[in-house]
């Protein structure tokens, strides 16, 4: 196994660890050449240029001088040491964001000017997308092809979408009972605190920063300790695009220190968080105990994926596989309870098992690889614990069930059948490549079972019958229902959860409301002859 593994893992080419201290020192990044894109992917040389905190437009060390390592999930080896932000750094970043909001040009410039900076940023993301995708894969472990072909284009698209909104945000004239002129002003909230996770570092950056900037807010964003590198890179591109200093501050660091300091800061006007339900409760509590800042939460899920008896089984198998295994199973909306009608259950199991066994797991920098490593030891151990729990609770292990290789955090694509609703693998968010397949008999039963969960983030429905599709999409308590498709993410489509999957919606027009205050302005009308 070790030998195969050595063959599978290729080094990230020409790795250098160069610390950049200010924007003017930027070098031209090497370009990606598609000429040799044959058997192996040709990855542009990647450098870690930014490892300090970004406060007030400058890269600086943490107040304590402390750093922490970020790891390559393919091997567990250290990529770079990154400044470790703590409460004092959050204070410095919030002061910078406050000053940029109260005194700086950002909220005062025309919305059109703001949108042009965001559009320039999107262009720069495209210019640097190969290098950014490589850095994302290196820090996170996701397949390079997916990072470059899906995540990077979505990052640019999302900022263009919100740039389009910037100059279309305005209030209303409101009819009132009486001689009053009433209007609403839609104003930015102020300093937004944002805490993001590690599973889609760049997309989570976009979902939070895009709408906040479009509305004219300033930001302090804390990245996940597992994936600090790409947000620093893109924040630098934002300054190259003309973003004034202090508008976007990036703090790398840990949750209970930097994250908690941000959530409880008295001068942060709004908090947006994505991560576990458990941590979501903590940050909501911190916001409540400090200054009652409004909080949006995008939390965990245990999404049902329902395959009806009339479904095209081959397509359903492929889609259910994708719904669960995409991004190493590390998706908050993963279709992690595959409910299959009893008439097609046996065929579905056979085909799902065959599909999982064909899944290509390996070095995410190699062409054709579908699945890379899990993010870190903690997640790797957690997923293996859930697999053991599935076996112990007598679910049938159809394939997989263990570690792959001897290095890094790779896990075999795992399929369980005969899963019962009360098993832990059917109730908890596993966040790994473990598919749980359950049998059902009729629609009423599956609706009830699918909704018997503390989560409500997403659901998938697979059927050819429009009445079944309509019945299920109305009955399922989830923020998104994908019918005959899954994981369709578009900048304009809102995303968020029912129940303990969260509060509020991100993306689309809905996210703008998270970053705006509505002010009603009421003025008496002078009695005129015609009134």
- Is residue 282 part of the contact set for ligand NAI (CB under 6 A)? yes
Q: For ligand NAI, which is the closer residue by CB, 209 or 260? A: 260
Asked whether position 205 contacts ligand NAI by CB under 6 A, the answer is: no
Catalytic residue among 298, 398, 429, 506: 298
Q: Which stretch binds ligand NAI (CB under 6 A): 47-55, 120-128, 271-279, 442-450?
A: 271-279
Which token pair is 324?
């669960």
d(CA 479, CA 499): 9
At closest approach, how far in Å is the CB of 376 from ligand NAI? 8
Which phi-psi region, left, alpha or beta, contains residue 505 (left: φ > 0; alpha: ψ -120 to 50)?
A: beta
DSSP result, 465-530: -HHHHHHHHHHS-SSEEEES------TTS-B--SGGGEES-BSTGGGGGGGEEEEEEEEEPPP-TT
Is 298 designated active site?
A: yes
CB of 44 to ligand NAI, least distance (A): 27
Which residues in the 209-238 window bind ligand NAI by CB under 6 A? 222, 224-225
Q: For residue 59, how many C-alpha atoms fall within 13 Å in the half-sphere facing its CB? A: 23
Candidates 79, 156, 241, 283; binder of ligand NAI (CB under 6 A) is: 283
CB 325 within 8 A of CB 424: no
Segment contacting ligand NAI by CB under 6 A, of 133-141, 205-213, 259-267, 394-402: 259-267
- Count of positions on this chain that bind ligand NAI (CB under 6 A): 27
The reply on whether position 195 binds ligand NAI by CB under 6 A is yes
Q: Which is nearer to ligand NAI, 314 or 381 (CB)?
A: 381
Which among 370, 412, 372, 416 has a CA at the least distance from the CA of 393? 416
Q: Choose, by CB under 6 A, the member of 23, 68, 254, 322 that binds ligand NAI.
A: 254
In the complex with ligand NAI, which residue's Cβ is closer, 115 or 199?
Answer: 199
**Toward ligand NAI, which CB reaches closer, 431 or 482?**
431
**CB of 381 vs ligand NAI, minimal distance in Å:** 10
Query: For residue 513, what are the contacts with CB-CB under 8 A and spacing of at least 6?
Result: none
Closest CA to 133 of 36, 202, 34, 210: 202
- Whether the CB-CB separation of 227 and 31 falls below 8 Å is answered with no
Which of 15, 30, 312 has the alpha carbon at shortest distance from 139? Answer: 15
Cβ atoms 355, 321 nearer than 8 A: yes
Stretch that binds ligand NAI, among 127-135, 142-150, 279-287, 478-486 (CB under 6 A): 279-287
Does 245 sit near ligand NAI (CB under 6 A)? no
CB 226 within 8 A of CB 373: no
382: contact with ligand NAI by CB under 6 A? yes
Helices (H), 142-256: 144-146, 152-166, 201-214, 229-240
- Write out the residues near ligand NAI by the rule CB under 6 A: 195-197, 199, 222, 224-225, 254-256, 259-260, 263, 274-276, 279, 282-283, 298-300, 332, 379, 382, 429, 431
Active-site residue numbers?
298
């Amino acid at each position: 196994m070790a030998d195969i593994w050595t063959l599978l893992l290729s080094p990230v080419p020409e790795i250098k660890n160069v610390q950049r201290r200010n924007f003017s020192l930027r070098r031209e990044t090497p370009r990606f050449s598609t000429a040799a894109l044959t058997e192996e992917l040709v990855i542009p040389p990647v450098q870690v240029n930014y490892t300090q905190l970004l406060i007030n437009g400058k890269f600086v060390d943490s107040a304590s001088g402390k750093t922490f390592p970020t790891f390559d999930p393919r091997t567990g080896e250290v990529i770079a040491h990154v400044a470790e932000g703590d409460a004092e750094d959050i204070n410095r970043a919030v002061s910078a964001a406050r000053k940029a909001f109260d005194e700086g040009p950002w909220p005062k410039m025309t919305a059109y000017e703001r949108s042009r900076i965001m559009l320039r940023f999107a262009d720069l993301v495209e210019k640097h997308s190969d290098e950014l995708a490589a850095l994302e894969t290196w820090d996170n472990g996701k397949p390079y092809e997916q990072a470059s072909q899906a995540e990077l284009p979505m990052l640019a698209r999302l900022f263009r979408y919100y740039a389009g909104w910037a100059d279309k945000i305005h209030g209303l004239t409101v009819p009132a009972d009486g001689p009053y002129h009433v209007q609403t002003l839609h104003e930015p909230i102020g300093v937004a605190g944002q805490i993001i996770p590690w599973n889609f570092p760049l997309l989570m950056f976009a979902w939070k920063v895009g709408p906040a900037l479009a509305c004219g807010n300033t930001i302090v964003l804390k990245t996940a300790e597992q994936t600090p590198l790409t947000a620093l890179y893109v924040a630098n591109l934002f300054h190259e695009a003309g973003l004034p200093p202090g508008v976007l501050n990036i703090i790398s660091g840990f949750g209970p220190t930097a994250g908690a300091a941000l959530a409880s800061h008295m001068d942060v006007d709004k908090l947006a968080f994505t991560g576990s339900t458990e941590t979501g409760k903590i940050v909501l509590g911190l916001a409540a105990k400090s200054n009652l800042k409004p909080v949006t939460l995008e939390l965990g899920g245990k999404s049902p994926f329902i395959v009806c008896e009339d479904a095209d089984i081959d397509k359903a198998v492929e889609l259910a596989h994708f719904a669960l295994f995409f991004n190493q199973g590390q998706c908050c909306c993963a279709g992690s309870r595959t409910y299959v009608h009893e008439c097609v259950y046996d065929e579905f199991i056979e085909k799902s098992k065959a599909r999982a066994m064909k899944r290509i797991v390996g070095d995410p920098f190699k062409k054709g690889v579908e699945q890379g490593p899990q993010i870190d030891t903690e997640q790797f151990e957690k997923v293996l614990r859930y697999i053991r729990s599935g076996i112990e609770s007598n679910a049938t292990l159809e394939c997989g069930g263990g570690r792959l290789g001897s290095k890094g955090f790779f896990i075999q694509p795992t399929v369980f059948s005969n899963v019962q609703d009360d098993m832990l693998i059917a109730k908890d968010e596993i966040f790994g490549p473990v598919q749980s397949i359950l049998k059902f008999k009729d629609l009423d039963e599956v609706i009830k079972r699918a909704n018997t969960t503390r989560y409500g983030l997403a659901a998938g429905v697979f059927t050819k019958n429009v009445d079944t599709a309509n019945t299920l999409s109305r009955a399922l308590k989830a923020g998104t229902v994908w019918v005959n498709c899954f994981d369709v993410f578009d900048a304009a489509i809102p995303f968020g959860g029912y129940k303990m999957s969260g509060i509020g919606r991100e993306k689309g027009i809905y996210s703008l409301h998270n970053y705006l205050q509505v002010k009603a302005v009421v003025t008496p009308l002078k009695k005129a002859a015609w009134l």
